[in-house]
Amino acid sequence: MDLKEKIGLAIGNQPVDLLLTNGKVINVFSGRIHSTSIAIHEDIIIGFGEYEAKRRVDLGGAFVSPGFIDGHIHLESSMLSIPELARNLVPLGTTCVITDPHEIANVHGIRGIQYILDSSANLPLRVYVMFPSCVPATPFETSGASLNADDMVPFRDNPRILGLAEMMNFPGVLFMDPGILDKIEVFKHKVIDGHAPGLTGKDLMAYVNAGIGSDHECCSTEEASEKLDAGMRIMIREGSAAKNLDSLIPLMNKHNSGNMMLVSDDLHPDDILERGHLNYLLKRVRGKGVDPITAIQLVTINPARYFRLQGLGAILPGYRADLVVLSDLDDFGIEQVYSSGNKVFEQGSPTPTWRSEGPGTLPRSFNVNWDKIVDFRIPARGESINVIEVIPGQIVTRRVIEKACIVDGSITADVDRDLLKISVIERHHGSGAHATGFIRGFGLKRGAIASSVAHDSHNIVVVGATDSDMLVAVKTVAQMGGGLAVVCDGVVSASLTLEIAGLMSDRQITEVSGDLRNLGAATRQLGCRLEAPFATLSFMALTPIPEIKITDQGLFDSSKFAFMDLFEK
């Protein structure tokens, strides 16, 4: 549609394609709710009021919101193919997501990023990409690929790539690592996301001076307030593993809400089915007394402005017709969803299945050297050990020192004290690299659980009460070509196959969620007390998150950004 045609349609010189009548328009630009009609032609909102139209739809006095936008989500963490994820997010009012595909990029590099772009093309869910900044996330683990600034240049001008994804290697920024600074230079005229848990003072000033504009790692109002003062956008994260909404909403007021947004970061399929997506977060925010228009701005105009998504995030003349028809502004019941002016969901009607144009296939991504991984025995070299302590509902951990349980010269798990073994096994290059330590918080009394979802390099991570069950669990994951497994007494009691890069499944959400429920039940039978054990497990190798983690290279002190000995001297 050219400029003259748009102007002529707005004046009323010819009929528009669609007129949505009798709706209450939530205008996130003016902060008003006004009763009017919305004229749509092709994929564009032409104007408000009475227009001659080829087709009219009476909304019966329902509210009309801009389509919801998730400003930070790792699509791979849904464990679903992108079309299947779209089939389940769109009916929840989500019409746009901004994703950082560093999970699949750490497995398959450029080929993985292209897979995400191709498999998300031409869907009613708009998918924009932030180019992964840290592949690998750090030099302290073995990933399947390595991307430098030269790899980024061909993607810089792609209209679906909005900028540089979360800069997790904030020490690299502060130490002015040439490779990190080169990546920032490539995207210096676009959006650059941050990832800087606990960063404060002059270090924060330096980080922001690098052009980094957001953070989704704030856990307290004090941390978020300092970052707002420094000019960063605050992404209030509420996902399957990390939950910060309750902590951060008290900070929000009429002066700073425009610089905040709601995001999910990592969202598992069972949570999508049971709770929803951004519609669930809106309900939570409203329950805390936030004004409904302010709440909706957090998932519409605020992320659209930050990511420079011209024509998205509001119901205004000239904007894309991505709309959500709501029954109310407390529970946010979804009645209809429009994407580019087309009705793609209506309550009571079956949701269609969408397919992309075909991304092709990815090669098998498991190459484990089993000759070097015979067992997880740790010879005793001292009496005290450094232990990873899980904090429920968070991806940060604590370092604690415990007396080792020594049997026949080796350290073993001690289920009475909830001291379990944790190991990470390299799965990309067949190097045989692996490291074993101890963890508290999973509560297993027997058996083991293992996963190929281990942020960010996605080696195989396993936690267990016995070495033998740990080995069976790890081998089960590899034999499946990726996935999750629960093992007890040498028998696999539950599993989920993730055949796409060891991260995602090509099956429907109900099947994947069903397998996850079985895994959860099997894990509870082993004594686990965590609400989301596999989501928690997936972050135990993520070295940029404090305080202590483990990779295939060893136990890691995230506060010092250096390896540490298992034995405390």
pLDDT greater than 70 at residue 548: yes
- CB distance 180 to 172 below 8 Å: yes
pLDDT at position 183, please?
Answer: 97
In a domain, 351, yes or no: no
202: Cβ contacts below 8 Å, ≥ 6 apart: none
Same domain, yes or no, for 396 and 528?
yes
pLDDT greater than 90 at residue 360: no
Share of the chain above pLDDT 90, in %: 88
Same domain, yes or no, for 180 and 102?
yes
Digit-coded pLDDT (tens) for 86-115: 999 999 999 999 999 999 999 999 999 999
Digit-coded pLDDT (tens) for 193-205: 999 989 999 999 9
- Distance between CA atoms of 538 and 449, rounded to whole angstroms? 11
Same domain, yes or no, for 137 and 258?
yes
Q: How far is the CA of 119 from the CAs of 116, 130, 155, 212, 355, in angstroms?
A: 5, 16, 17, 29, 8
Alpha helical stretches, state H, 238-390: 245-248, 269-274, 278-287, 292-297, 301-306
- CB distance 465 to 443 below 8 Å: no
Q: Which residue has the tokens 């080829």?
A: 54
pLDDT greater than 70 at residue 357: no
- Distance between CA atoms of 458 and 133, rounded to whole angstroms? 16
Give 401's strand partners: 386
Cα-based angle 23, 27, 28 (whole degrees, multiple of 5): 145
| 547 cis-preceded (ω within 30 degrees of 0) | yes
Cα-based angle 274, 277, 279 (whole degrees, multiple of 5): 105
**Which residue type is seen at 86?**
A
Q: How far is the CA of 113 from the CAs of 76, 151, 359, 556, in angstroms?
A: 11, 11, 11, 28
Axis-axis angle for helices 110-119, 82-89 (nearest 10): 40
11: Cβ contacts below 8 Å, ≥ 6 apart: none
pLDDT greater than 70 at residue 397: yes
Digit-coded pLDDT (tens) for 249-281: 999 999 999 999 999 998 989 999 999 999 999
Q: How far is the CA of 109 from the CAs of 184, 266, 294, 497, in angstroms?
A: 18, 20, 39, 22
Sheet with 94-99, edge to edge strand ranges: 68-73, 94-99, 126-131, 161-167, 191-194
Same domain, yes or no, for 306 and 421?
no
Range 385-404 average pLDDT = 92
pLDDT at position 421, please?
Answer: 98
The structure tokens listed for 388 are 């990873």
401: Cβ contacts below 8 Å, ≥ 6 apart: 384, 385, 386, 387, 568
Domain span holding position 274: 68-312
Looking at 296, 312, 328, which one is the last position of a domain? 312
Looking at 266, 286, 312, which one is the last position of a domain? 312
Range 492-516 average pLDDT = 96
In a domain, 10, yes or no: no
In a domain, 453, yes or no: yes
Q: For the chain, what is the largest distance between any 2 Cα atoms, rounded to a whole number of angstroms?
A: 89
Buried b or exposed e, range 233-268, using 16+ CB within 10 angstroms: bbbbbbbbbbbbeeebbebbeeeebebbbbbbbbbb
Same domain, yes or no, for 419 and 546?
yes
Same domain, yes or no, for 375 and 282?
no
**pTM for the structure as a whole:** 0.92
Lowest mean pLDDT among 22-26, 323-327, 347-351, 471-475: 347-351
**pLDDT class for 395, splitting at 50, 70, 90?**
confident
Q: Look over the chain and give the mean of its residue pLDDT values, rounded to a whole number.
A: 95
Same domain, yes or no, for 198 and 85?
yes
Domains: count for the chain: 2
Same domain, yes or no, for 275 and 384?
no
Give 339's strand partners: 342
In a domain, 54, yes or no: no
Digit-coded pLDDT (tens) for 148-203: 999 999 999 999 999 999 998 898 999 999 999 999 999 999 999 999 989 999 99
175: Cβ contacts below 8 Å, ≥ 6 apart: none
**pLDDT class for 359, splitting at 50, 70, 90?**
low
Same domain, yes or no, for 133 and 250?
yes
Q: Which residue has the tokens 């957090």?
A: 298
Q: How far is the CA of 420 from the CAs of 408, 444, 449, in angstroms?
A: 18, 8, 11
- Distance between CA atoms of 563 and 551, rounded to whole angstroms? 10
- How does DSSP classify residue 173? H
